[in-house]
Structure 1
Amino acid sequence: MERISDTMQRLVCADGKEITLIGTAHVSQDSVDEVARTIDEIGPDRICVELDEGRYRSRTEVQGWENLNIKTILKENKGFLMLANMALSSYQKKLGTQMGVSPGDEIMRAANLATERNIPLSLCDREIQVTFKRAWRLSNLWNKLKLISSLLTAVFSKEEISNEELERLKETNVLQSMLDDMAKELPTVKRVLIDERDQYLASKIYSSPGTRVVAVVGAGHAPGLVAHIEKLDRNEISDDVTSISSVPASSKAGHIISWTIVIALLGIIALGFIRSGWDQGLEMFLYWFGLNASLTGLAAILSLAHPVTIILSMLAAPVTALSPTLGVGMVAGILEASMRKPRVKDFEHVSDDIMTFKGWFSNRIIHALLIFMTTSIFASIGTFIAFPLLISRLGGAA
């Protein structure tokens, strides 16, 4: 491996194939210029980019959030995933606006040059939805909440980053320190977003046709890519990425735990009827009903939900608590989206509105997701609070 600069490395494979790897900052004009200059100098017979088919189409075709169906997303239990996706996109847009470029402009510059000069183009990244779904599916609830809170903190932060600081992020030691921190805080997210994609990108770049290849990727992937490509060239690892190209099935343990909670709740209430008679059992049931309903209602009120959403969500909360597949957040979000249907301007301004406190309440798409999130969290708190309180009442009744 030959290090040409802090951001560029050249690997010569055993078969004579040369791969020039450019590690870029996704919101840097310097990166855009460097990509164009390098392609001019090398004259590659293949350009590889850190894009998948879906993201490439989204950059080359006129489409966007207008294709979003908020009710479908909530019905498919993808509310938290969509919030994380929106927050990440908005943060990148925020940085891009500050730097005067759009996120990923350097990647698209490489792709456009390939088209203009009839150079074969390889889209080497894993499908973004597979990546997000894997990260989400493999993370526990606590890490999911930490991920969303981290993204939202970044979105609302008023701190600005200078162009010099941004360029410094492309330095290997700085990046590695940041990745190490991510591994400590969000190990699953780091593994899926960085490590797995390093493996996937390396496999696709290494196996791409051509003898002079220029590969344009985010700087965070460069060290891992070099390591994987060198191992591939020495036949130390396989280029098969099937195992990381699909979304894992839902954990059976999660389903078991969910149903165990439901059965335990019903068992405690049933025991109240058996041990202490109808009056005590009914009192325990109403206590549990009121706890779930009141916390859900409080969440909806604090989120400024529609009155109908508040009332129906409160009534639905105890029922949905007994169904691991039907959450009150989903019900509340769908109700809100039905009572206050998203407007054209809501779709057009999603990326901007999510960056302001006011936007979370004025944009009907984001508002529905906010209500989904708050009612889900408060209802979960209600369920777990119910256990010790009901047990104490059961003990008192005995």
Structure 2
Amino acid sequence: MFVEKVNEKIILIGTSHISEESVNLVKNTIIKENPDCVGVELCEQRFNALKNKKSWENMSIPKVIKEGKSYLLLTNIILSNYQKKLGNEFGIAPGSEMLKAIELGETLDKEIVLVDRDIQTTFKRSLDYMSIKEKFKFIFYIFSGFFEEIDEETIKNLKNKDMLNEVLNELSEEIPNIKKALIDERDEYIALKILEKYREGKKIVAVIGAGHLKGVKNIIEENLIKETFAHRKTELEKIPQKRSKAKIIAYIIPILFVSLVIYGFYSKGLNFTLNILIAWTLINGTLSALGVVFALGHPFSVLTAFAAAPITSLNPALAAGWFAGLTEAKMRMPKVKDFEDLSKLNRLRDYWKNNITRILLVVAFANVGSVIGTFVALPYLLSLF
């Protein structure tokens, strides 16, 4: 944990997020510096979740699925539980230093400034930057946390700034494009939010993760003398609309499939065309259904995936997982206990037992199965000619 004083009006506190020392450092620094504003490395969504421990109970699973936020929610739950697992080893709840900063700031009647970018924007920009291969690597890294033993040496090292940077650097080496959205852009965004208050003539103490401290400090120092930077913050809040390779492929697939059907009909007749349609349906539908089976979904969810996949694979705006997930949510409506247990998912199999996370797994695996089915079916159909 470190305190960096950029100047008399900008003080940065770098914390480990899971350390009692961080909480004390935050408290003592805010009292000592008596700022006009207290900044915390949170966006509005994470701020509300931290302040309202029962915010899960107000969540609409069907709405999450329809808005395409299933992967974001599942990732959030996994990472939150992993951080909670580390926090238990330290005997302190994750985010305690942020909560202390907020509570103390409100008690002292200070302005609370949420300096981090919206988590959904960060997540979507990260996905946009990553290749398909990097996305699979990211999934592997997330789930590998369930099998990682937390020994005393790991706990000791996690208190050090160098260890946090080392973890971020290691992830960046394996997945280079993820660093841009998760680290570099957020460093810049946090710095610009802090500078906004500085431009207003206010003194601010900002509580941020130790891994962001160096980058944020450097960006602040580089921009102190600049007069205009608001446009850059707006750019960082946008979700890129560029067409990725995956999106281009998603539009090529239906064109290719329809072309095969038309060509098959005119060159080989009706029976051949029917065989193409049957093969497409069986391969795509079966693999998507198997994905739901792997997620331990309800039999009706399995049937829904089987029926939806052959159709949704031809429409870039739809996904088999959405329909399978909505069916799962209807057949196995989450109970209050499922929401309460979201913060207690310590083992991998717990995600298959909880009705909420199982719905999200149904969405994910149905989609994965459908994608695999598409890339298995198309070469097979081509081989028939």
What is the identity percentage for the equivalent residue pairs of Structure 1 and Structure 2?
35
SS at match of 1:102: coil
Contact 1:79 1:372 (C-alpha < 8 Å) held by counterparts: yes
SS at match of 2:205: strand
Cα–Cα, structure 1 residues 58 and 180, in superposed 2: closer, same or farther, change >3 Å?
Answer: closer
Cα–Cα, structure 1 residues 330 and 121, in superposed 2: closer, same or farther, change >3 Å?
Answer: closer
| Match of residue 255, structure 2, among 263, 268, 271 | 263
Shift of 1:317: 1.9
1 CA distance for matches of 2:342 and 2:202? 43
Residue number in structure 1 paired with 2:6: 11
Residue number in structure 2 paired with 1:337: 329
Say which is worse superposed, 270-279 or 243-252, in terms of deviation: 243-252
Task: Give the aligned CA root-mean-square deviation in angstroms.
Answer: 2.3
Q: Work out whether 1:379 is the aligned partner of 2:370.
A: yes
Contact 1:70 1:365 (C-alpha < 8 Å) held by counterparts: yes
Shift of 1:252: 7.1
* TM-score, scaled relative to structure 1: 0.88
Residue number in structure 1 paired with 2:279: 287
Say which is worse superposed, 222-231 or 206-215, in terms of deviation: 206-215
Residue number in structure 2 paired with 1:189: 178
Aligned positions of 1:1-398 closer than 5 A? 7-12=2-7, 17-160=8-151, 162-168=154-160, 170-171=161-162, 174-208=163-197, 209=200, 212-235=203-226, 238-240=229-231, 241-249=233-241, 251=243, 254-353=246-345, 355-394=346-385
* TM-score, scaled relative to structure 2: 0.91
The one-letter code sitting in structure 2 at the alignment partner of 1:133 is: K
Superposed CA deviations along residues 20-69 of structure 1, whole A, max 9, x for unmatched, are: 21110001111111112223333334322222333333333353211222
Superposed CA deviations along residues 342-367 of structure 1, whole A, max 9, x for unmatched, are: 111111112323x3233222211111
1 CA distance for matches of 2:170 and 2:27? 32
SS at match of 1:188: helix
2 CA distance for matches of 1:113 and 1:125? 19
SS at match of 2:159: helix
Unaligned residue ranges in structure 2 (runs of 5+): none
SS at match of 1:268: helix
- The structure that has the greater radius of gyration is 1
2 CA distance for matches of 1:45 and 1:312? 56
2 CA distance for matches of 1:302 and 1:116? 50
Cα–Cα, structure 1 residues 273 and 195, in superposed 2: closer, same or farther, change >3 Å?
Answer: same
Say which is worse superposed, 262-271 or 60-69, in terms of deviation: 60-69
1 CA distance for matches of 2:3 and 2:149? 32
Shift of 1:212: 4.5
SS at match of 1:326: coil
Shift of 1:319: 1.6
SS at match of 1:121: strand
Cα–Cα, structure 1 residues 69 and 148, in superposed 2: closer, same or farther, change >3 Å?
Answer: farther
2 CA distance for matches of 1:222 and 1:381? 42
Contact 1:52 1:123 (C-alpha < 8 Å) held by counterparts: yes
